[in-house]
Amino acid sequence: MSMRHQITAGFMPLFDSAVLVAASELGFAGSEGVDLTLHRETSWANIRDRIAIGHFDLAHMLGPMPLACNLGLTPLASETIVPFSLGLGGNCVTISNAVWTGMAAHGAEPDLDPARAGAALRAFIRDRAVAGREPLRFAVVHPHSGHNYELRYWLAACGIDPDRAIEIVIVPPPFMADALATGRIDGYCVGEPWNSAAVAAGTGHIVTVKAQIWRNSPEKVIGVRKAWADENPEALAALLRALHHSARWCQDPANHAELAAVMAQPGFLGLPPAVQMPILTGHLQLGGGAELDVDDFFLPFDKAANFPWKSHALWFYTQMVRWGHVAHTPDNLAIARNCYRPDLYRSALKPLGVALPGANAKVEGALKVATAVGATGAGLVLGPDGFFDGQIFDPDEIDAYIARQKSVRTEA
């Protein structure tokens, strides 16, 4: 006899919900005994609230969002854990044609190089300030998002103070391209397909990508209401196995056409399959006719993309501290450390005999080339995972990392 598990999950219409969507639509959940019901949501706040009040057991979530819930940064949040990551990479920074013209005058090239683009942007911002024009306005999807933190990281590393030299506002992902076209914002950081959409419309240029700011960096996760996880360990483990099989399927290029067709349905993205190909292939149109292949642009499975590294959560925590979202205290650090749950991932996948990393945290930015690492089961390859500015994040040296970032020199 087998018991069926009923699981209700929320997701946002973004391509990186694909592993969850495919688990439901292509039978991976069903074959693990899970009846997975998906609900499309319109805002991240709704996702968080509906988990808190028990409408959803779990959801497609922004990586730092469960930390924000557990740290009490938002109202109506319940304790949320992360037993599974939905992928690495996938975001871009897109700017208006006017800003691109200004940056090109200061040496920007259509090569996605974060350092070169950042230097050009910094010079352009200085020109504008001297001319007495108001600061550029950039948008991200949510304050507690990988987008906000990687945009800020990139700008600060290039000597641009994201709190003073520019303005950062929140805009829902599907509205980004319109807001850029109508001049309400000058640039944004968002996941696909909302960057390629602006390029296709001729209203924006992609200047850099998450995969080049921090290669193989964390993005969306599965956030689970802890109370539900505690009561339903078998259902959660069955779902994690389904997500594992789904992620492996999504990564395989042989399945990309079918995956794009599934995501194109009105209930999911509701966008033509062609719009989804850049994220699947890493072949990006940058604007103005330029195009480029980006290595590891978005990984739904490879390079341990699904392992919920504690060092990923801790990096988000250091950035929350850096930008004043939370105070750095031993208690808050402990909350951040306990949010991602590699133990649950391990125990769910162990029966499958798949590769599992030997550690729960890693030094981020240390791997300059793809490297086979100690793992149980089959071999596991990680990285390269470098930050573009050569910095290294050692989760055992959090205080020093936070202190070092405080001393970064930026222009107002």
| Residues at the interface with another protein (CB under 8 A) | 42-46, 49, 52-55, 72, 74-76, 141-143, 169-172, 174-175, 310, 330-331, 333-334, 337-338, 342-343, 360-361, 396
Query: For residues 170 and 392, which CB has a smaller minimum distance to another protein in the complex?
Result: 170
- Pairing mode, strands 220-225 and 80-85: antiparallel
Least separation, in Å, of the C-beta of 104 and another protein?
A: 31
The dihedral region occupied by 132, where left means phi > 0, alpha psi between -120 and 50, and beta the remainder, is left
Least separation, in Å, of the C-beta of 79 and another protein?
A: 12
Collapse the DSSP code of 264 into the 3-class scheme (helix H, G, I; strand E, B; otherwise coil) and give the result: coil
Query: For residues 72 and 202, which CB has a smaller minimum distance to another protein in the complex?
Result: 72
User: What is the rounded CA–CA span in Å between residue 195 and residue 193?
Assistant: 6
Query: For residues 293 and 331, which CB has a smaller minimum distance to another protein in the complex?
Result: 331
Contacts of residue 261, defined as CB under 8 A and 6 or more positions apart, other chains included, come to 273
Query: For residues 76 and 274, which CB has a smaller minimum distance to another protein in the complex?
Result: 76
Contact between residue 226 and residue 85 where contact means Cβ atoms under 8 Å apart: no
Least separation, in Å, of the C-beta of 329 and another protein?
A: 9
Contacts of residue 411, defined as CB under 8 A and 6 or more positions apart, other chains included, come to 122, 125, 126, 159, 160, 161, 165
Query: For residues 298 and 345, which CB has a smaller minimum distance to another protein in the complex?
Result: 345
Query: For residues 91 and 212, which CB has a smaller minimum distance to another protein in the complex?
Result: 91
Query: For residues 174 and 287, which CB has a smaller minimum distance to another protein in the complex?
Result: 174
Least separation, in Å, of the C-beta of 328 and another protein?
A: 13
Angle at 121 between CA 119 and CA 126, to 5 degrees: 95
Least separation, in Å, of the C-beta of 369 and another protein?
A: 27
User: What is the rounded CA–CA span in Å between residue 57 and residue 322?
Assistant: 31
- Pairing mode, strands 88-89 and 80-85: unpaired
Collapse the DSSP code of 192 into the 3-class scheme (helix H, G, I; strand E, B; otherwise coil) and give the result: coil
Least separation, in Å, of the C-beta of 246 and another protein?
A: 26
Task: List residues bridging with 190 in a β-sheet.
Answer: 92
Least separation, in Å, of the C-beta of 105 and another protein?
A: 31
The residue among 313, 329, 338 whose CA lies nearest residue 395 is 313
